[in-house]
Amino acid sequence: MHHREVTENDIPKICKLPETREELFYCFPRASFPLSETGLRQCIGMRSDSTVVEFAGRVVAFANFYRWKEGLCSIGNVVVASEVRGSGVGSYLINHMLTLGFEKHHAEAVSVSCFNRNAAGLLLYPKLGFQPYDIEQRVDYNGDRVALIHLRVERHAI
C-alpha cells in the first residue's frame, strides 16, 4: 500500500469508488450520482493535496483538503473502495492527511466531518485521535434531515 498525488489517469477510477448514492453523499454531498469526471476535476482544482492510495496496483482510496489555512486543515472527499474497507486503508490515508496537515501546512488542528449514518467513519476517526466538537443539521439526497458531525485533532494531541 502506498499513497501519491492524484493524476489525470486516476479520475475515472476515483469516480467509481462511491458505489451507491449514499456512499457518494458521504464523500461528495453536493454531487449527483454517479460522480462525474468533470465534477471531480473541478473539485480537485479548488482543493489541496488530492491524494490516492494504491493497494495491489489499484486506486482504492481518495481524500484532499478543502481548507488549509489559518492554522486549520479540513479533510474532505474521503472515500475507500468497498472491497478494502476494514483492512487499514482508511487509517493509512487519514494518517497521511494528518501528516500533511501538521507538517506541510503547519496546522494547529486537522478536522474531518462525518454524517451520522456513516458508522465506519464515525468508528474510525476517534481511533485516530479525532474528537467531536460540533454537530450541524443537513439535508440528504432524499430531503431527509441528517447530522453532520465535525471532529478534529489538535497538533499537541498527537
- Rg for the chain, CA atoms, rounded: 15
Question: Per-residue pLDDT averaged across 43-55, rounded?
Answer: 98
Residue 158 has pLDDT above 90, yes or no: no
Residue with cell 482510496: 61
Q: Which three cell numbers stand for residue 56?
A: 495491489
Please, what's the largest Cα pairwise distance for the chain?
A: 40
Write down the pTM of the prediction: 0.97
**Residue 133: what are its φ and ψ, rounded to 5°?**
-135, -10
Round to whole Å and give the CA distance between 132 and 134.
Answer: 6
- Which of 80, 110, 109 has its CA nearest to residue 92? 80
- pLDDT tens track for 15-43: 999 999 999 999 999 999 999 999 999 99
Query: Which DSSP helix (H) or strand (E) runs through 23?
Result: helix 21-27
- pLDDT tens track for 54-106: 999 999 999 999 999 999 999 999 999 999 999 999 999 999 999 999 999 99
Number of helices (H), then strands (E), belonging to the chain: the values are: 5, 7
What pLDDT is stored for residue 60 in this prediction?
A: 98
Q: How confident is the model at residue 157 (pLDDT cuts 50, 70, 90)?
A: confident
Assess whether the previous peptide bond of 34 is cis (omega < 30° from 0). Answer: yes
What pLDDT is stored for residue 156 in this prediction?
A: 86
- pLDDT tens track for 102-156: 999 999 999 999 999 999 999 999 999 999 999 999 999 999 999 999 999 999 8
Strand order in the sheet with 58-69: 2-5, 48-55, 58-69, 72-80, 109-115, 145-154, 131-139
Q: Outline where 56-144 has alpha helix (H).
A: 89-99, 119-127
CATH architecture label of 2-157: 3-Layer(aba) Sandwich (3.40)
- Which of 22, 94, 87 has its CA nearest to residue 51? 94
* Domain ranges across the chain: 2-157
